[in-house]
Amino acid sequence: MTTLVSGFLTNVNQKIDCNTDKFYQLGILFLQAKIPKIVFVDQIMYDRIHIYENDYTKIILIDKTDYEMYQYMNNDVLTNFSLNTDNLAKDTIEFMFTMCNKTEWIRQATQLNYFNTENFTWIDFGIRHVFKCDDDTYINILESLYDKTYNNIRIGTIWDLQVIYCIDIYRDISWYFAGGVFGGNKEKLLQFADLMKEKCLQIIFEKKTIMWEVNVWYLIYLENKELFDTYHCGHDNLIITNY
């Protein structure tokens, strides 16, 4: 058995094509799945979705400033933040911190463990937008995760992990990992969360920047390959059906 974990913070960027209203519509489909779920949201989203809490779903109100890494968001230390992106409105410092916080939400979910499971699976709150199917099929796909359990970090790859691509890992988006789904045994997930926090702080203080979570995950992978159990997918249905 596995518990699904998700989270959403409003106003972390200005992505016009997928604003809070859009994420609300995508998220309520996620909330309809009859599978154990723990969802972390800020006050704005909590006010809209708390009515969906039920026997399958725990909705946790959070304040992003309670998470350790957020203290560096407006800190002068990030003097080298400069991503190669064609969407500056989306790829803000706060958005990067939010993406990198997925493992901290997983950590918190394992500590709460409302549904007493050994496995946990992260699902992006708005992941519905990459699926090419009807809503009922999407919900059924989510529910199929209930019996999928893994001993290591199960995570989807897009790029070939054996190939070294010519990118700047601190400035260019890296799609070695798909980003929207990962999971596994809670002890390995806690190890992953520790490694993620350590690597993010190292990047913040040594490189004076922060970047997409998938880039940081790749750096962790290079040093801890034995921790990962990978599968191939894209930003499509395969991100969950191949999980």
Rounded Cα–Cα distance for residues 93 and 16 (Å): 17
For every one of its 243 residues, what pLDDT tens digit does the chain have, with 9 covering 90 and above? Answer: 999 999 999 977 776 555 778 888 899 999 999 999 999 999 999 999 999 999 999 999 999 888 888 888 777 899 999 999 998 888 899 999 999 999 999 999 999 999 999 999 999 999 999 999 999 999 999 999 999 999 999 999 999 999 999 999 999 999 999 999 999 999 999 999 999 999 999 999 999 999 999 999 999 999 999 999 999 999 999 999 999
Parent domain of 57: 2-241
Q: Tens of pLDDT along 186-230?
A: 999 999 999 999 999 999 999 999 999 999 999 999 999 999 999
Tally of domains in the chain: 1
What are the structure tokens assigned to 126, written together? 């708005």
**Domain harbouring 237, CATH code:** 3.90.550
Q: What is the pTM of this model?
A: 0.95
